[in-house]
Protein backbone atom coordinates (compact mmCIF):
# COMPACT_ATOMS: atom_id res chain seq x y z
CA UNK A 1 0.00 0.00 0.00
CA UNK A 2 2.87 2.38 0.70
CA UNK A 3 4.16 1.92 -2.84
CA UNK A 4 0.71 2.71 -4.25
CA UNK A 5 0.45 5.81 -2.07
CA UNK A 6 3.92 7.01 -3.09
CA UNK A 7 3.17 6.42 -6.78
CA UNK A 8 -0.10 8.33 -6.53
CA UNK A 9 1.58 11.20 -4.68
CA UNK A 10 4.23 11.33 -7.42
CA UNK A 11 1.52 11.58 -10.09
CA UNK A 12 -0.19 14.41 -8.19
CA UNK A 13 3.15 16.16 -7.69
CA UNK A 14 3.78 16.07 -11.44
CA UNK A 15 0.30 17.46 -12.11
CA UNK A 16 0.84 20.24 -9.58
CA UNK A 17 4.22 21.14 -11.05
CA UNK A 18 2.69 21.44 -14.54
CA UNK A 19 0.45 24.23 -13.26
CA UNK A 20 -2.60 23.17 -15.25
CA UNK A 21 -5.82 23.25 -13.24
CA UNK A 22 -7.75 20.03 -12.67
CA UNK A 23 -11.38 19.66 -13.61
CA UNK A 24 -13.95 19.20 -10.87
CA UNK A 25 -14.23 15.49 -11.77
CA UNK A 26 -10.47 15.06 -11.40
CA UNK A 27 -10.50 16.86 -8.05
CA UNK A 28 -13.32 14.61 -6.90
CA UNK A 29 -11.29 11.58 -7.99
CA UNK A 30 -8.30 12.83 -5.97
CA UNK A 31 -10.55 13.33 -2.94
CA UNK A 32 -11.93 9.80 -3.37
CA UNK A 33 -8.42 8.32 -3.51
CA UNK A 34 -7.45 10.25 -0.38
CA UNK A 35 -10.51 8.75 1.32
CA UNK A 36 -9.35 5.25 0.38
CA UNK A 37 -5.90 5.94 1.82
CA UNK A 38 -7.49 7.39 4.98
CA UNK A 39 -9.51 4.20 5.41
CA UNK A 40 -6.36 2.09 4.99
CA UNK A 41 -4.60 4.26 7.55
CA UNK A 42 -7.46 3.84 10.04
CA UNK A 43 -7.49 0.05 9.67
CA UNK A 44 -3.73 -0.14 10.25
CA UNK A 45 -4.02 2.21 13.23
CA UNK A 46 -6.62 -0.05 14.85
CA UNK A 47 -4.54 -3.18 14.25
CA UNK A 48 -1.46 -1.41 15.61
CA UNK A 49 -3.38 -0.41 18.76
CA UNK A 50 -4.57 -4.00 19.18
CA UNK A 51 -1.02 -5.35 18.99
CA UNK A 52 0.20 -2.64 21.39
CA UNK A 53 -2.48 -3.62 23.91
CA UNK A 54 -1.65 -7.31 23.48
CA UNK A 55 2.07 -6.61 23.92
CA UNK A 56 1.62 -4.56 27.08
CA UNK A 57 -0.94 -7.04 28.42
CA UNK A 58 1.46 -9.89 27.72
CA UNK A 59 4.26 -8.17 29.62
CA UNK A 60 1.93 -7.53 32.57
CA UNK A 61 0.75 -11.13 32.49
CA UNK A 62 4.37 -12.32 32.42
CA UNK A 63 5.16 -10.17 35.47
CA UNK A 64 2.16 -11.63 37.33
CA UNK A 65 2.75 -15.23 36.23
CA UNK A 66 6.26 -15.81 34.85
CA UNK A 67 5.66 -18.43 32.17
CA UNK A 68 8.11 -18.65 29.32
CA UNK A 69 5.39 -19.43 26.81
CA UNK A 70 3.76 -16.10 27.67
CA UNK A 71 7.10 -14.38 27.15
CA UNK A 72 7.55 -16.12 23.78
CA UNK A 73 4.07 -15.02 22.70
CA UNK A 74 4.80 -11.49 23.86
CA UNK A 75 8.02 -11.40 21.85
CA UNK A 76 5.99 -12.41 18.79
CA UNK A 77 3.49 -9.61 19.48
CA UNK A 78 6.36 -7.15 19.80
CA UNK A 79 7.87 -8.49 16.59
CA UNK A 80 4.63 -7.70 14.78
CA UNK A 81 4.11 -4.36 16.52
CA UNK A 82 7.36 -2.82 15.32
CA UNK A 83 6.66 -3.32 11.57
CA UNK A 84 3.08 -2.11 12.08
CA UNK A 85 4.35 1.10 13.66
CA UNK A 86 6.72 1.61 10.72
CA UNK A 87 3.98 0.92 8.18
CA UNK A 88 1.49 3.20 9.94
CA UNK A 89 4.09 5.95 10.10
CA UNK A 90 4.54 5.73 6.33
CA UNK A 91 0.78 5.77 5.74
CA UNK A 92 0.29 8.77 8.03
CA UNK A 93 3.03 10.80 6.34
CA UNK A 94 1.80 9.81 2.89
CA UNK A 95 -1.77 10.88 3.60
CA UNK A 96 -0.53 14.18 5.04
CA UNK A 97 1.44 14.72 1.83
CA UNK A 98 -1.69 14.01 -0.22
CA UNK A 99 -3.57 16.64 1.79
CA UNK A 100 -1.01 19.29 0.89
CA UNK A 101 -0.93 18.20 -2.77
CA UNK A 102 -4.71 18.34 -2.94
CA UNK A 103 -4.65 21.88 -1.53
CA UNK A 104 -2.07 22.91 -4.13
CA UNK A 105 -4.10 21.37 -6.95
CA UNK A 106 -7.30 22.98 -5.71
CA UNK A 107 -5.69 26.44 -5.79
CA UNK A 108 -4.59 26.11 -9.45
pLDDT digits (tens, 9 = 90+) for 34-77: 999 999 999 999 999 999 999 999 999 999 999 999 999 999 99
Q: In a 10 Å sphere around its CB, with 0-12 CB exposed, 13-18 middle and 19+ buried, how is residue 68 labelled?
A: exposed
For the chain, the domains span: 42-108
Q: Could you give the CA distance from residue 107 to residue 22 in angstroms, rounded to a whole number?
A: 10
- The answer to whether residue 108 scores a pLDDT higher than 90 is no
Q: What is the pLDDT of residue 15?
A: 93
Alpha carbons 27 and 102: distance in angstroms, whole number: 8
Give the Cβ contact number of residue 28 at 10 Å: 11
CA dist 60 and 71 (Å) reads 10
Q: What is the pLDDT of residue 27?
A: 96
Question: How sure is the predictor about 107, in pLDDT bands with cuts at 50, 70 and 90?
Answer: very high
Structure pTM? Answer: 0.86
Amino acid sequence: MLKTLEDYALILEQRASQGTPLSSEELLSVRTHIGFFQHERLVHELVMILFAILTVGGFLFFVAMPEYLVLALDVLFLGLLIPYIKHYYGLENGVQKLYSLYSRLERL
